[in-house]
Amino acid sequence: MSSRPFYVTTPIYYISGTPHIGHAYTTIAADILARTARAWDGEARSLTGTDEHGQKVAQAAATAGMSAQAYVDDLAPKWRGLGPAFDAQFSDFIRTTEPRHRVACLAMFEKMRANGDVYLGTYEGWYCTNDETFWPEAKLVDGRCPNPECRRPVEWLSEQNWFFRLSAYRDRLIAHFTAHPEFLRPASVYNEMMRTLEGGLEDLSISRATLDWGIPLPGGGVLYVWFDALINYITALGYPDEGGLMARYWPGMHLIGKEIARFHTIIWPAMLWSAGLAEPARVFAHGWILADGGEKMSKSLGNALEPFALVDAFGADAVRYFLFREAPFGSDFSISVDKLRSRHNADLGNDLGNLLRRSLAMLARYRNALVPQPVESDLGERFGEIGAQVHEHVIALRFREGLEEIWNLVTALNREIDERKPWELHKQQRDAELDALLYDLCEGLRFIAILIHPFMPAKATEMWQQLGQPGTPEVPWQSALRWGTLAAGTQVAPGEPLFPRLEAPPAA
């Protein structure tokens, strides 16, 4: 691990949309990463927020008969509530309409202009307002936007704009990609971006002369919404002040969906270099959540699951667990209420919930709910390094492998009960063996509560309380995950089942 504290960001979400489970996915991933990094290193920083400028917002506000500012102020709280609904905590939430962001964008623009990378030119091209993107003529499909989810008519724009000399950074980008294959994951997206770079780069138009909803530029016009949006990651670290948070946390890691990789791994590093700053440490482009039919879930396709309704039906923790257990982070996968229910009942209810319930019930019955003395144990040997292993998986974005590692411990504890049969040990008065088993179970459960905390903060805390532990399971892993730490004599407090079984609704 480098000594720089961890900094992770989500994309900033287009404010005119409605949050769906795909947005919650990145938000939760960032939270799991930050919580894990914090548990290991003692600190971490995380950022999310909203992307509020651009023509799309200006048009939506006009249609709603509102000023753009009133329109975005109206929508912002809904997005701000997305993280908290899933128990995701962020160090900061940025809105691109905040004054601090205007200051950062203009400073960056001036820095790039001063070194000759930003110049005035005439832009002509086909523009899709929905995607806020210029498309080359050859890419249009029947004269319309080539994005299969959009396919709206494009407009011909011709205006005097500011340009960023992106083409000048192609060789440096190729060299960076080549020297640092870990800069962008997964490999499929890395390869796609490499092909884009090899195909050549054109300079980028970074202002809009005729739009007034955006960051105003000297001499008129506003910044192109993507140029403005990318800068959010350093605005939130206090840029243009390059000391303070910038010095401490930059460069950070960006989590994004794969369709916005070009902005984050080609345009953004070049902008940063132009302003004399370091490129992002890493970019991870995750897969898409698909609807049952196999298409990408999206608001425009009308097939998106409403995240707040899923929390009501399953609880935040079960949804968090599902999203990161179901598929590797780089792959597409589908989600449905039936799949969620079956993982809830099997992995969470049967495997984990019952393990806690059975273990604590036996401790209550045989030992007055008091944890016995620790003894040497095979489990302690086997799981002594589990904290380091789970941490390593999660920081490398292998969330699923991290959960599988934790579930190996869940399975091992269930197996100990089945094989060592505590009820027989009790009947046969083999007290030392029964003590050893009960200690192992409680200690293993304490480990599990600590390890699942980044994934399922509320359920981990409930487990923690039932195990009679003080405070929360948000404890430093390197010292807390030593087998034998649980104090003999701790009084446990068996409570409600962690994941009560959910029945399928009767067929209509």
In the complex with ligand MSP, the residue whose CB is nearer, 288 or 308, is 288
The closest residue (CB) to ligand MSP is 257
Whole-number minimum distance, CB 36 to ligand MSP, in Å? 21
Whole-number minimum distance, CB 10 to ligand MSP, in Å? 7
Distances 428 to 7, 212, 285, 421 between C-alpha atoms, Å:
55, 82, 57, 11
Report the alpha-carbon distance of residue 74 to residue 80 in Å, rounded. 11
**Which sign, positive or negative, has the C-alpha torsion 499, 505, 506, 507?**
negative
Phi, psi dihedrals of residue 315, rounded to the nearest 5°: 85, 150
Written as six digits, the tokens of 371 are 């944890």
In the complex with ligand MSP, the residue whose CB is nearer, 221 or 257, is 257
Residue 69 DSSP symbol: H
Rounded to an integer, what is the distance from CA 173 to the centroid of its chain?
Answer: 26
Which amino acid, one-letter code, is at 212? Answer: D
Rounded to an integer, what is the distance from CA 367 to the centroid of its chain?
Answer: 43
Whole-number minimum distance, CB 17 to ligand MSP, in Å? 5
Q: Is residue 302 within 8 Å of 17, Cβ to Cβ? A: no
Whole-number minimum distance, CB 30 to ligand MSP, in Å? 11
Backbone conformation region of residue 430, classed left if phi is above 0, alpha if psi is from -120 to 50, else beta:
beta
In the complex with ligand MSP, the residue whose CB is nearer, 26 or 161, is 26
In the complex with ligand MSP, the residue whose CB is nearer, 239 or 439, is 239
Distances 111 to 105, 107, 272, 476 between C-alpha atoms, Å:
10, 6, 10, 41
Whole-number minimum distance, CB 173 to ligand MSP, in Å? 18
Report the alpha-carbon distance of residue 298 to residue 20 in Å, rounded. 8
For 374-388, give the DSSP string: ----HHHHHTTTHHH
Whole-number minimum distance, CB 142 to ligand MSP, in Å? 24
Whole-number minimum distance, CB 497 to ligand MSP, in Å? 32
Q: Tell how strand 155-164 and strand 118-128 pair up.
A: antiparallel
Whole-number minimum distance, CB 255 to ligand MSP, in Å? 8
Q: Is residue 458 within 8 Å of 314, Cβ to Cβ? A: no
Whole-number minimum distance, CB 109 to ligand MSP, in Å? 16
Query: Which positions touch ligand MSP (CB under 6 A)?
Result: 11-14, 17, 22-23, 25-26, 51, 229-230, 232, 256-257, 259-260, 288-289, 296-298
In the complex with ligand MSP, the residue whose CB is nearer, 85 or 260, is 260
Whole-number minimum distance, CB 25 to ligand MSP, in Å? 5
How many other β-carbons are positioned within 10 Å of the β-carbon of residue 108?
25
SS3 299: coil
SS3 276: coil
Burial of 111 (0-12, 13-18, 19+ CB in 10 A): middle
In the complex with ligand MSP, the residue whose CB is nearer, 325 or 420, is 325
